[in-house]
Structure 1
Amino acid sequence: MTSPTPSLPLSSLLILLLFSLFHVSLTASTSPTTYIYGGCSHIKYSQNSAYSASLNSLLTSLVNSATNSPFSKLTLTSPATISGVYQCRGDLPESSCSTCIRNSVSQLGSLCVNSVGGVLQLDGCFLKYDNATFLGVEDKSVVLKRCGGGGGGGDSGELVSRRDQVLGYLASLSESYYRVGESGGVKGVGQCVGDLSLGECQDCLVYAIQRFKGDCGPVGSGDLFLGKCYVRVMVDGHGSSWYGSNGSSQDDEIERTLAILVGLIAGIALLIVFFAFLRRLCDGKDGK
């Protein structure tokens, strides 16, 4: 006679489910396709026009380039003049870059219907197209600014000091388009669009850092996106990269969701334990 196959106790299954839910939620919160900002030209083109054909050709070429390059720019002059550029975040693998650009093209198609120009910044990539001249042109206009809470330990002075150390380090990496730094739990990242020269990139990032310090003051984390570069600061996992498209923290939403799930699972587990205790109690009485 064979013995029954052992199975995991229900309590163990509940714990595994809880960790699975946490892992899925945490992974989703850091998706490269998380929306940050977007914008469209007020000028429209007609469907089936020469510009429509050029735009489709441009976007197809950029999507194809993203399979093997984190950056590409292109200008078409026939059948109509149009330029485009994309830039993936410096730490993204090729597969994630490609997915991010495909997602950007899809989102811009819905966001900027028949618009001559469009721009979209996702967490992992940047995409822009227009018939105006913008390639190789430095753009230090502030597109998005968010100053978030610190989220780390220590007083505000220590936090700001570490933040400024990280920002100073980013400013010193003048030979890089993508820059990362960390000090005492404060993490920073800066990046330029690759159509700028290194000198223009340095100028753009230094300006972004100065604006960040001035505009956010004694705040540890946040984002500052200019037209062709950005600076982002996080403190102990809290801050810029956790924000969603509405400017609220996805991390806070995840924590609330997990708190509800934990409460529900804990309640179910207590009920199971209670009924199991009653069953054993009854079985014990029957056995006497």
Structure 2
Amino acid sequence: MVGMAEFSSHQLFFFFLLLALLPIATRGSESLLYQQCEKNFTQNDKLQENINNVLLDMVAKSSLQGYAISSYATNTCESVYGVTRCEPDMSVKECSSCITRAAQKIRTTCPDSAESRIWYDNCFLHYDTNNFIGKADKSYAVVWFSFYAAANPKAFEQALGELMGEVIAETAQGRKKFGYGENYANEIKLTVYGMAQCTRDLGERECNECLETGLEIMTDLCKDQVGCRLFGSSCAIRYEIYKFSSFTSTDDGAAAAPAPSPSIF
């Protein structure tokens, strides 16, 4: 079942997909989840050039460091700002591949948009002529949820709440803006795994604000479900009853050798 609905209490739009509890897909099989093309314009070569420069910069930075915060300005045209985010257990090469694919896709499907967002399973890209850098964007989210409900919802909710409180705090306070953890619920003999991530342009307060809002949305939409993922513009959250990531909170995030910067045009 796939649908779209407006969640008016948060003034957010959601794209819902059911997520069966299956093994993690291999990297390189990233699927396009959703994209948005906004603020259309016509006959503005300078703006097109600025957007292209930001996209090229984001691809290049992502291939070096696994994420990007970018801006490009000229005296004769609007500035353009952009960020990328990759799943924390992706290598730099995998991140580069995913962001390159996102940049190529967004220029094909949103060729005359001054603001665009694109979500893949493992990465996200956003650019805009409004300066959103450092601000928590809570306007949009993509949500996946499991088919299965917890056998003991009260015990599961308690274990999940304890875990996600710790994971969100780790994410907001950390330099790399992600956290991962697990919590064993003895009453139901079940381990819950959780992850949270913010784009690296956010400060602690903004990241925490985004994640708390996201968790509230998940509590409403994924109530009692044993798996849920939220992909937002500024942050992402996930919990499952299986270990879905090779990342651990003790990882230092050391990157492999940088991937070459491919062309996106």
TM-score where L is the length of structure 2: 0.70
1:166–1:188 CA contact under 8 A, matched in 2: yes
Q: Residues 47-66 of structure 1: CA distance to partner in whole angstroms, max 9, x if unpaired?
A: 7x111111222211111111
How far residue 171 of structure 1 moved from its aligned partner, in angstroms, is 2.6
CA distance in 1, matches of 2:23, 2:114: 37
Equivalences for residues 39-78 of structure 1 within 5 A: 39-46=36-43, 49-78=45-74
How far residue 237 of structure 1 moved from its aligned partner, in angstroms, is 6.1
> Is 1:90 paired with 2:96?
no
Rate the CA distance shift 1:163–1:26 in 2: closer, same or farther, 3 A: closer
Structure number with greater Rg is: 1
Q: Counterpart of 1:257? A: none
Q: Residues 227-250 of structure 1: CA distance to partner in whole angstroms, max 9, x if unpaired?
A: 311211222368xxxxxxxxxxxx
CA distance in 2, matches of 1:55, 1:224: 27
Q: Counterpart of 1:37? A: 34
CA distance in 2, matches of 1:45, 1:85: 24
Q: Counterpart of 1:196? A: 202
TM-score where L is the length of structure 1: 0.65
> Is 1:180 paired with 2:186?
no
How far residue 108 of structure 1 moved from its aligned partner, in angstroms, is 1.0
CA distance in 2, matches of 1:143, 1:155: 28
Equivalences for residues 1-288 of structure 1 within 5 A: 28=25, 31=28, 33-46=30-43, 49-78=45-74, 80=77, 81-150=79-148, 154-173=151-170, 174-176=172-174, 177-183=177-183, 184-236=190-242
Q: State the SS of the aligned residue for 2:142.
A: strand
Q: Which moved more, 1:88-97 or 1:33-42?
A: 33-42
CA distance in 2, matches of 1:42, 1:72: 23
Structure scoring higher RCO (CA < 8 A, sep ≥ 6) equals 2
Give unmatched runs, 5+ long, in structure 1: 1-24, 239-288
How far residue 201 of structure 1 moved from its aligned partner, in angstroms, is 0.7
Q: Residues 19-71 of structure 1: CA distance to partner in whole angstroms, max 9, x if unpaired?
A: xxxxxx96746656222221111412337x11111122221111111121122
Q: Residues 62-112 of structure 1: CA distance to partner in whole angstroms, max 9, x if unpaired?
A: 111112112222221125321111122222211111111101111212221
Rate the CA distance shift 1:67–1:29 in 2: closer, same or farther, 3 A: closer
AA partner of residue 100 (structure 2): R
Q: Which moved more, 1:117-126 or 1:229-238?
A: 229-238
Give unmatched runs, 5+ long, in structure 2: 1-21, 184-189, 245-265
Identity of aligned pairs, percent? 21
1:33–1:103 CA contact under 8 A, matched in 2: no
Q: State the SS of the aligned residue for 1:189.
A: strand
In proportion to residue count, which structure has more strand? Answer: 2
CA distance in 2, matches of 1:28, 1:221: 16
How far residue 190 of structure 1 moved from its aligned partner, in angstroms, is 0.8
Q: Residues 197-221 of structure 1: CA distance to partner in whole angstroms, max 9, x if unpaired?
A: 1221122212222332233222221
